[in-house]
Chains A and B, each alone.
Chain A
Amino acid sequence: GIQVEQSPPDLILQEGANSTLRCNFSDSVNNLQWFHQNPWGQLINLFYIPSGTKQNGRLSATTVATERYSLLYISSSQTTDSGVYFCAVEGKIANFGNEKLTFGTGTRLTIIP
């Protein structure tokens, strides 16, 4: 199946700093999503971005599908940004039913006041 790698595994930053999280995947994808898992364990949708660039406030994401990677940018970090960020992909396989998301191992972001 498709492999998803995220880097760095851990990131500790001062409040106000900027960060870039990376997601590499091993095959073509139909779907790529970024999630934030908050301290209560909830998965919060950040971006649905199989290709291109999107922005939402202080967050933006870019997926370069031909080179099989996606980047999540967080600017002017706040303590509420702390948590684990997951990238999840759906491989581009033709057979019906292969629509599951495969998650990466995540990046744990800690923002220090």
Chain B
Amino acid sequence: EPEVTQTPSHQVTQMGQEVILRCVPISNHLYFYWYRQILGQKVEFLVSFYNNEISEKSEIFDDQFSVERPDGSNFTLKIRSTKLEDSAMYFCASRAGRSTEAFFGQGTRLTVV
């Protein structure tokens, strides 16, 4: 069964460093998303991406964040200068069309020290 895959599964980084989280969405999907979940809290929307551009972003998604689809298969989230409060589980998701079922990757646990 096709699945969304994320790498790495766990990343530890020092405050102020840049990190790139990687995702391979399901191959025929057109809509891509990043969400995050701070430990013990609910899952929050960060950004949606369609047709090679951001279609919506939340207040969390400030200038320190960027997304890219560098080729036909990868979808990346970059955090330029990490802060302690960026520590969270980051989920990538994809869906085939508007309002269709969304599928989530297994997550990347980011720890900023």
Contact = CB atoms under 8 A, between A and B. Distances in A.
B88 to A, nearest CB: 11
Contacts of A50: 99
Interface size class of A (residues with CB under 8 A): 20 to 34
Contacts of B99: 30-31, 50, 90, 99
Interface of A: 30-31, 33, 35, 40-43, 45, 48, 50, 86, 88, 90, 96-106
A15 B9 CA distance: 31
Interface of B: 31, 33, 35, 37, 41-45, 48, 50, 55-56, 58, 89, 91, 93, 95, 98-104, 106-107, 109
A35 B104 contact: yes
Contact of A97 (B48, B93, B100, B106): B48
- Interface of B (DSSP majority class): strand
A43 B104 contact: yes
B96 to A, nearest CB: 12
A103 B109 contact: no
Given A33-B101, A101-B45, A101-B102, A42 B33 contact: no
